[in-house]
Each structure stands twice: as C-alpha cells, then as structure tokens.
Amino acid sequence: MNYTNSLTQQISFNNQKYFVKRDDLLHKDFSGNKARKFYYFLKNDFAKIKKVISFGSAQSNAMYSLSVLCKTKGWEFDYYVDHIASFLKENPVGNYKYALENDMNIVEAEIPKSFKEDELFISEGGAIFEASFGIEILANEIKSWAEKHQIKNLKVFLPSGTGTTALYLQKFLPFEVLTCACVGDEEYLKKQFLALEKNNFPTILKKEKKYHFGKLYKEFYEIHNELIKQTNIEFDLLYDSLGWLCFEKYVENFDKKDEYEFLYIHQGGLLGNISMKERYKHKFDK
Ligand SMILES: *Cc1c(COP(=O)(O)O)cnc(C)c1O
C-alpha cells in the first residue's frame, strides 16, 4: 500500500497563484501530517510491542491516526483523556467515532507513570523524534517536484500545532519554511522546536490577533468557505483557516512576490472537520 507521494496541484486563490501539496489525499484512512509523523511506526518492525499508549483531546486527528496504525499493526491502543464531553459520548462523531470503531480503548484518567516492555508510548500530537523519518520523505517529495518543475525560489507554508512537522520539514528542505502558531503563542511554538532541535527553525509568521485553539471565528469560517468555492479543496478548520489568513497576508506583502513560487502543505484533518462544521453552521449559518 502506498502511503507516500501525494500530488501537488496548482490553484488560484484571490487572484494569487499557489501550489498545494495534497497530503490530505495520501490514503483513505491514513493521511495528513499524522500519517507522515507515524510512518516510522508503520514501516518498521516492533517485535516486542503489543500496545500503544498516548494521550490528548478526544477529538484529535492524532488519536484517529494512531487507531488506524494500531489496527494495521495488530496492536492494542489505550488513549488517555482528561475528560470526554457528555454530548460526544452520547453522539460520537468524527475522529472519536472512527477511532472507537478501530477498537481504541479510551481512558478518562491520568497517564500511567511508567510503561511495560511491550508498550509503546507516543506523546501528544506525535511531537517525537521518530516523526522526522516520514517528514524527510515528505521533504524529498517536495525537492523532487521543485527540481522537476525547475523551481529554484520556493516558500513552503504549513500551520503548526506542536510544530513538529514544520520543524523537520525545515531541517530537510533547502527552502524557507514558514508557519504560524495555531495552538498557543510564538513563544510556545519556539519552546516546542527547542525540545526537538537546536537550530534551523522555521519562520513563524505573526498573527493579526490572538486566537484560541478550538474556538469559532467568523473569519475562519469565511476563508474556509471561500477556499472551497474558489479551489474546490476542503481545508481543515482548526489549523488551515488561520494558516491561510497568515500565509495570504505574507504573500501579499512579500516584496519579491514575482520571483517566488508558494507551496501550501495540506495536512489533512478532514474527519475532525465534521464536528467543527456542525458547530460553525449552528453559530453562523442563520
Ligand atoms: C496535527 C495537525 C497539524 C499540526 O501539526 P504539528 O506537527 O503538531 O505542528 C496541522 N494541521 C492538521 C490538519 C493536523 O492534523
């Protein structure tokens, strides 16, 4: 099965040309940057491992991708959460629903303090060294694509949560990688980078205003709908709406705009969009 080599397509958005790397289309069940980050575990043999343990939110994209990984590998999957909202328990949707269908054990408790030999612990959102394995492959795909099209000046953009994907892309790419902090502020993101690498960090673009992760913003919904209308591509509402707001502004104000090509990495997350869209529709479509 092929979990690599996503296509890159050209789009026009608000009269500006961009390329989009469609990692959302990598594979039906294992896509986006979580597929890249967990590729190492998919590809290698772990004879001793019987169970994966991780934690985070009950709606997370990483949780769903880990459930697919575990199902594929025949591993058990224990996922720790602080709390599951009662409406979600009663009406499972999106990542939560499909991860349960993949036999995830969801545990509302503290993460264990220690692990057994046959247990593999993966920290929240896949902010781990092993992620570099799959992200190097992503970087190589971008390099080959740029070479093939004789693109020498390229700016690559992707929005960050933990920042792991942007960080390793910058490590393996000869082009400048731009990102924005969707979870927390720039300081938080820099700390995340520092936990994994010493230097060569992506450039963090400034945000117009302070946004709280997971909250609903009218401008997020608007740019999301506008992207669908103009490009026929659905982007994620948690990261990509803010991502596009930041990247578009950057490109608009970039003084060498005509000498460069701009590549946006679509990192998937569309299962998570199901519940986000319900919330947005409820709030703004009246
Ligand atoms: C997880 C995720 C991100 C953030 O990735 P990091 O490597 O944690 O920065 C961005 N977009 C989507 C759609 C994601 O699922």
pLDDT digits (tens, 9 = 90+) for 68-126: 999 999 999 999 999 999 999 999 999 999 999 999 999 999 999 999 999 999 999 99
Report residues whose beta carbon is within 6 angstroms of any ligand 1 atom: 32-34, 61, 125, 159-166, 236, 239, 267-269
pLDDT for residue 286:
76
Model pTM? 0.97
d(CA 275, CA 198): 37
186-209, pLDDT tens digit by residue?
999 999 999 999 999 999 999 989
pLDDT for residue 98:
97
Distance 37 CA to ligand 1 centre (A): 10
Q: Domain residues of the chain, as ranges?
A: 8-28+129-284, 35-126
- Per DSSP, which regions of the chain are E strands? 8-13, 16-22, 51-55, 76-81, 105-108, 119-122, 154-157, 176-179, 203-204, 261-266
3-state secondary structure of 108: strand
pLDDT for residue 27:
94
The residues facing 108 across adjacent strands are 81
8-28+129-284 and 35-126: identical CATH topology: yes
| DSSP secondary structure, 161-210, as one string | SSSHHHHHHHHH-SSEEEE-BSSS-HHHHHHHHHHH-SS-PPEEPPPSS-
Q: Are 235 and 266 in contact (CB under 8 A)?
A: yes
Class of domain 35-126 as given by CATH:
alpha beta
245-255, pLDDT tens digit by residue?
999 999 999 99
Catalytic residue among 6, 54, 57, 60: 60
What percent of the chain stands above pLDDT 90? 98
Q: From the CA of 24, give the closest atom in ligand 1.
A: 13
- Domain covering 8-28+129-284, topology: Rossmann fold (3.40.50)
pLDDT for residue 1:
57
Ligand 1, atom 15, residue with closest C-alpha = 269
d(CA 47, CA 24): 30
Is 60 an active-site residue? yes
Distance 284 CA to ligand 1 centre (A): 25
Q: Are 96 and 58 in contact (CB under 8 A)?
A: yes
Q: Are 39 and 75 in contact (CB under 8 A)?
A: no
∠ at Cα 43 (38, 49), nearest 5°?
Answer: 80
Q: From the CA of 159, give the closest atom in ligand 1.
A: 10
Distance 248 CA to ligand 1 centre (A): 19
- Which of 177, 220, 227, 267 to mutate for ligand 1's pocket (most ligand atoms within 8 Å of CB)? 267
What percent of the chain stands above pLDDT 70? 99
- Which of 160, 244, 247 to mutate for ligand 1's pocket (most ligand atoms within 8 Å of CB)? 160
At residue 265 the predicted structure's pLDDT band, cuts being 50, 70 and 90, is very high
Number of H helices, E strands in the chain: 11, 10
**Mean per-residue pLDDT, 48-56:** 98
pLDDT for residue 198:
97
What is the separation of C-alpha 24 from the centre of its chain, rounded to a whole number of angstroms? 9
- Which of 6, 22, 54, 61 to mutate for ligand 1's pocket (most ligand atoms within 8 Å of CB)? 61
- How would you classify residue 241: left for phi > 0, otherwise alpha for psi between -120 and 50, otherwise beta? alpha
